[in-house]
């Protein structure tokens, strides 16, 4: 079962990593379709790797990239105007989001929708 974002990544393991923020925010409406990226921040350094789950993801451009701290993941995306998105992180079968110690993130998801975008003149 996919968890609510408030519990995103929380598992019974005290050693499990957690997502502390995602941009755009969960449930956000009228997100600018020109945003160009989704940013995921974790509470601890992560291993290289990811499991982006579900068919509600926007088109990804290139590979997701962690910053030097391995706590911030940037996913370049192409968003469409007036579209609902559902982003899944890990699942019971795919657990590539793991802490540096190898403990997987618990499965979770979030949603947001884009607005109309810039109006042509």
How confident is the prediction along the chain (121 residues), in pLDDT tens digits per residue? Answer: 333 444 555 555 778 999 999 999 999 999 999 999 999 999 999 999 999 999 999 999 999 999 999 999 999 999 999 999 999 999 999 999 999 999 999 999 999 999 997 655 4
Q: Which of 90, 98, 85, 81 shows the shortest CA–CA distance to 42?
A: 98
28-31 β-sheet, strand order: 28-31, 108-114, 84-89, 52-53
pTM to 2 decimal places: 0.86
Which distant-in-sequence residues (6+ apart) come within 8 Å of 90 by Cβ?
9, 51, 53, 96, 97, 104, 105, 106, 107, 108
Could you give the CA distance from residue 64 to residue 77 in angstroms, rounded to a whole number?
9
């Amino acid at each position: 079962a996919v968890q609510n974002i408030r519990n995103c990544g929380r598992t019974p393991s005290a050693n499990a990593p957690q997502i502390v923020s995602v941009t755009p925010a969960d449930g956000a409406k009228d997100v600018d379709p020109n945003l160009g990226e989704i940013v995921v921040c974790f509470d601890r350094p992560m291993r290289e790797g990811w499991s982006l789950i579900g068919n509600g993801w926007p088109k990804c451009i290139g590979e997701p990239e962690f910053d030097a701290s391995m706590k911030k993941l940037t996913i370049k995306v192409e968003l469409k105007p007036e579209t609902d998105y559902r982003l899944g992180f890990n699942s019971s079968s795919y657990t590539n989001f793991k802490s540096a110690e190898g403990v997987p993130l618990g499965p979770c998801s979030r949603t947001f929708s884009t607005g109309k975008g810039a109006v042509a003149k």
